[in-house]
A and B are shown apart, each in its own frame.
Chain A
Amino acid sequence: KAGVTQTPRYLIKTRGQQVTLSCSPISGHRSVSWYQQTPGQGLQFLFEYFSETQRNKGNFPGRFSGRQFSNSRSEMNVSTLELGDSALYLCASSLDTGGVSYEQYFGPGTRLTVT
């Protein structure tokens, strides 16, 4: 079974631009979560989607948004990029049957560099 895939793997953007990252979960997984990883703050939860609805949200500004499609694929968007947004963005998927949730499996991440 294929794992979680994320595209692109690397991205360089300029301050003020916006960026969209994509995540394809493991087949059959309906929950997708996004995390930001930086050397200073570590791994921090951004948001989680299930059945195209945002179910949980972390403590990040409104510039960070996401969505989930009917096939469970997810995208996250960061608008008006700041230097501090440089990070590894990780997507994790989980088999969630709507009543019981399971382990989260991570993709390789998208390395975003803002210059």
Chain B
Amino acid sequence: GENVEQHPSTLSVQEGDSAVIKCTYSDSASNYFPWYKQELGKGPQLIIDIRSNVGEKKDQRIAVTLNKTAKHFSLHITETQPEDSAVYFCAASLNSGYALNFGKGTSLLVT
């Protein structure tokens, strides 16, 4: 089955700096890659997603890039703010409604 690896597991940045989280996946058939943000005591919140026919997608301070050949995708957060502090999860799936295979998460701290 699909295996998603996520790095780093923890990331500490200063307010205003950029943060980058990287994920790799194993199943070349995966074509949907969402990113979720989870705050303490809450469920994961979808923040951005990308499909395999797109190489990059941006939404204000958040961007995601996808390299299908290398089977990796990344989340970029610019101008980080304290409220960006949370655990971020990447996931891969055959389709947006199918089972999501999650990475282990990255705990981001913005100070």
Report which A residues bind B (CB closer than 8 A): 4, 31, 33, 35, 42-45, 48, 50, 56, 58-59, 90, 92, 94, 96, 101-109
Contacts and interface: CB of A to CB of B under 8 A. Distances in A.
A72 to B, nearest CB: 13
19 contacts: A35-B100, A42-B89, A42-B102, A42-B103, A43-B91, A43-B102, A48-B97, A48-B98, A58-B99, A90-B44, A94-B97, A102-B96, A103-B34, A103-B46, A103-B96, A104-B96, A106-B44, A107-B43, A108-B43
A48 B99 contact: yes
B101 interface: yes
Interface residues on B, range: 20 to 34
Contact of A42 (B45, B97, B104): B104
Nearest to A91: B43
B49 A56 contact: no
Contacts of B44: 43, 90, 106
A45 B34 contact: no
B42 interface: yes
Nearest to A33: B99
Given A42-B104, A43-B89, A90-B43, A106 B36 contact: yes
Contacts of A107: 43
A108 B49 CA distance: 20
Interface string B24-41: 000000000010100001
A45 B95 CA distance: 14
A103 B43 contact: no
Interface string B82-109: 0000000101000111111111110000
A96 B97 CA distance: 7
Contacts of B97: 31, 48, 50, 94, 96, 101-102, 104
A71 to B, nearest CB: 19
